Amino acid sequence: MAVCQVSFFGSAIQKAAGMNVIIPEKMKGRVPVLYLLHGLSDDYTAWCRRTSIERYVSGMKLIVVMPDSNRGWYTNSVHPPGLRFEDHIMQDVLGFVEHTFPVIRERRGRAIGGLSMGGYGAIKLAMKHPEVFCSAHSHSGALTRLAALAQATQTDAYILEARAIFGAAAVGSREDCLTLAATCPKNRRPHLWIDCGTQDFLIRDNRDMHRHLLKLRYPHTYHEYPGTHDWAYWDTHIQEALAFHARNLKI
């Protein structure tokens, strides 16, 4: 495997951006790609620094792209406007990758996943753009945080920051995973994998999402494992997510 550190200009966010890309050293033709998203306090280097992702994909015919979203929730911010991190992923990152690397440029060859904020981003983007991704996974995802943010009485920096990004009308919108699951066309539903540690502070989010998907009869894979919100958990369970994507990408 080879790891590329890429610096490029993100038109959607009007600033320089970065990403790490793992590529097989020997490739014939175009190969599938997995977009792997980071959490709120991380950046695009975190997956390579904190897990053995390079070793886990060794031998797989798969390119792994790890882009940056700052603290932007993979969302086009309401306040301040102009920080369009959803457009950054969907336009800048996908556009650069598909122009530069030998990836399959069709839904059947694209998957997305992430942890915590990135778990939310992966599930949201996959269901919001079901024509783009065939599968998505979330570890410890903040999947139903929008309702909690709207109802929170605290005014700490985290809540104020998130409320500014999402705006006042986020619940029930196309930023809401619960709404997207209900409106995603049944014939284009991406395959979903969701897991969370039983000691994780986001376990309720994941259980609520699981129950919602069951109610909708949205096929998905859901697991709870011992563990908390940390890299030991994510380093272990990214291996299962890779196997899940491999089945859906047919590699």
Residue 232 lies in a domain: yes
180 inside domain:
yes
From first to last of its 251 residues, what are the pLDDT tens digits of the chain? 899 999 999 999 999 999 999 999 888 899 999 999 999 999 999 999 999 999 999 999 999 999 999 999 999 999 888 899 999 999 999 999 999 999 999 999 999 999 999 999 999 999 999 999 999 999 999 999 898 887 777 778 888 899 899 998 899 999 999 999 999 999 999 999 999 999 999 999 999 999 999 999 999 999 999 999 999 999 999 999 999 999 999 99
Residue 36 is assigned to a structural domain of this protein: yes
- 157: domain range? 2-246
pLDDT digits (tens, 9 = 90+) for 212-247: 999 999 999 999 999 999 999 999 999 999 999 999
pLDDT score recorded for residue 80:
83
- Kindly report the CATH number assigned to the domain that includes residue 110: 3.40.50.1820
Q: Looking at the domain assignment, is residue 221 inside a domain?
A: yes
Rounded CA-CA distance 87/174 in Å is 14
Residue 251 resides in a domain: no
* CA nearest to 165, candidates 231, 82, 222: 82
In a domain, 151, yes or no: yes
Decide: 147 and 209 in contact? Cβ < 8 Å.
no
Q: What's the structural domain count of the chain?
A: 1
Query: Rounded to an integer, what distance in angstroms lies between the CA atom of residue 39 and that of residue 3?
Result: 20
Token pair of 245, please? 């994507």
Q: Write down the pLDDT at residue 28.
A: 86
DSSP assignment string, 37-69: E--TT--TTHHHHHS-HHHHTTTSS-EEEEE--
Q: How far is CA 194 from CA 119, 219, 241, in A?
A: 8, 11, 9
